[in-house]
């Protein structure tokens, strides 16, 4: 019984590692955006705003879920769903104004995916059967709403998140599942890069180009060319639209390549790509170390992986509500619930103390 407090202290210390890593990664993202913009007519404000949105959403999610884990996730799901429905021709809170802007469809799909992930997290954390069922139905309803508002990517991705969340209830070890999600994200990003660099087989290239549209593929080609000309620092934040021939010739272009990894490569070089991958890796590591149940962790991981897919082939991360929502979902799934401190997760390689005996009363 005397060893229990020491074991708890070790678990808490290890639980702080993701927080420290997150501060380092997000800080590095902000600093590098300023470095890549130095001496150029660049605008790093968008990157800085995205970093701040992720950090703020993450902190808010951690705080809310530590007190009301189920209610906070359910409220986040309803909020994301309402924001997607109310968006209409644009995304509320987005930096782009006006009517329909390129990329808003992807942003709507991203909001719906995050809402689905939050509903799945709430369902996995709920104890009453009726509440769990109601929240599962809410997650499924989000996919139906995605079809109703014409967001087929949001419907498909949301349904995939629901299925992954249901499968997660039978998974006991989260590490292999999280590694699988990381590999899926890497495969999608690698395929996008291969498509942009004309490194894929001809038949596959033609098939993907039909789904992605020739204009988007041409934007990706320009991004690769700019990245090859400026491999370290890139051309500077928000300068792709000024240097891309395709973007200049496209009617109604928003000046972005519609792919987060390729935009990072073009505007912030290989370091920017590494930092983007590091941010995703930090989130997955935080989910692995999370004290929340495995089903909650994997539901959030599936939603964030779906968001990574949408960001790889679209413009989702260019909108503040999406980046804030991603941070919020990560915070909800990694919070330490108040009064549940003994459930801190310790890796399987370490000796697990018997909390039940340590906390028993005579």
Three-state secondary structure call for residue 150: coil
Q: What is the pLDDT of residues 275-317, one digit of tens each?
A: 999 999 999 999 999 999 999 999 999 999 999 999 999 889 9
State residue 44 phi and psi, 5-degree precision: -80, 0
Q: What is the dihedral of CA 163, 135, 174, 184, to 10 degrees?
A: 40
Q: Are 74 and 138 in contact (CB under 8 A)?
A: yes
Sign of CA dihedral 235, 238, 239, 240: positive
DSSP 8-state secondary structure symbol assigned to residue 99: S
Which of 261, 250, 256 has the alpha carbon at shortest distance from 214? 250
Both tokens of residue 323? 């980046």
Give the per-residue pLDDT at 229: 92
Both tokens of residue 14? 């290890």
Both tokens of residue 237? 């934040």
User: Mean pLDDT of residues grouped by 10 in the chain (362 residues)?
Assistant: 43 65 93 92 91 96 94 95 75 44 70 96 94 95 87 90 94 93 95 90 83 89 93 92 87 85 95 95 95 95 96 91 96 86 42 38 37
- If one counts every other C-beta atom within 10 angstroms of the C-beta of residue 24, the result is 12
pTM of the model: 0.86
Neighbouring residues of 201: CB distance < 8 A, sequence distance ≥ 6: none
Give the per-residue pLDDT at 251: 76
Distances in Å between the Cα of 85 and the Cα atoms of 91, 108, 304, 329 are 10, 8, 20, 19
Both tokens of residue 278? 């590091």
Which of 150, 145, 152 has the alpha carbon at shortest distance from 116? 145
Both tokens of residue 22? 């997150």
Q: What is the pLDDT of residues 147-159, one digit of tens each?
A: 888 888 889 999 9
């Amino acid at each position: 019984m005397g060893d229990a407090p020491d074991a708890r202290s070790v678990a808490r210390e290890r639980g702080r590692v993701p927080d420290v890593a997150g501060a380092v990664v997000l800080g590095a993202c902000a600093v590098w955006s300023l470095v890549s913009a130095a001496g150029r007519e660049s605008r790093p404000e968008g990157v800085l705003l995205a970093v701040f949105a992720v950090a703020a959403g993450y902190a808010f999610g951690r705080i809310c879920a530590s007190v009301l884990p189920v209610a906070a996730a359910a409220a986040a799901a309803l909020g994301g769903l309402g924001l997607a429905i109310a968006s209409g021709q644009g995304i509320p809170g987005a930096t782009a104004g006006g009517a329909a802007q390129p990329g808003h469809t992807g942003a709507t799909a991203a909001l719906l995916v995050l809402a689905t992930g939050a509903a799945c997290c709430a369902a996995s954390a709920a104890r009453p059967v009726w509440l769990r069922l109601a929240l599962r139905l809410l997650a499924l309803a989000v996919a139906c709403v995605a079809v109703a508002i014409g967001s087929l990517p949001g419907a498909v991705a949301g349904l995939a998140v629901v299925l992954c969340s249901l499968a997660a209830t039978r998974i006991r070890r989260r590490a292999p599942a999280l590694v699988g999600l990381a590999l899926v994200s890497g495969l999608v990003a690698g395929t996008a890069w291969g498509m942009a660099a004309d490194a894929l087989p001809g038949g596959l290239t033609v098939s993907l180009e039909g789904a992605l549209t020739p204009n988007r593929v041409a934007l990706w080609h320009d991004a690769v060319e700019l990245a090859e000309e400026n491999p370290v620092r890139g051309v500077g934040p928000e300068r792709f639209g000024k240097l891309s021939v395709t973007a200049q010739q496209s009617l109604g272009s928003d000046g972005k390549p519609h792919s987060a990894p390729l935009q990072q490569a073009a505007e912030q070089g290989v370091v920017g790509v590494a930092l983007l991958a590091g941010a995703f890796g930090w989130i997955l590591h935080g989910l692995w170390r999370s004290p929340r149940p495995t089903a909650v962790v994997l539901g959030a991981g599936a939603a964030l992986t779906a968001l990574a897919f949408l960001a790889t082939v679209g413009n989702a991360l260019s909108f503040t509500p999406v980046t804030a929502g991603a941070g919020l979902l990560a915070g909800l799934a990694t919070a330490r619930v108040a009064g549940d401190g003994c459930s801190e997760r310790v890796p399987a390689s370490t000796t697990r103390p018997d909390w039940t005996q340590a906390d028993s009363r005579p």
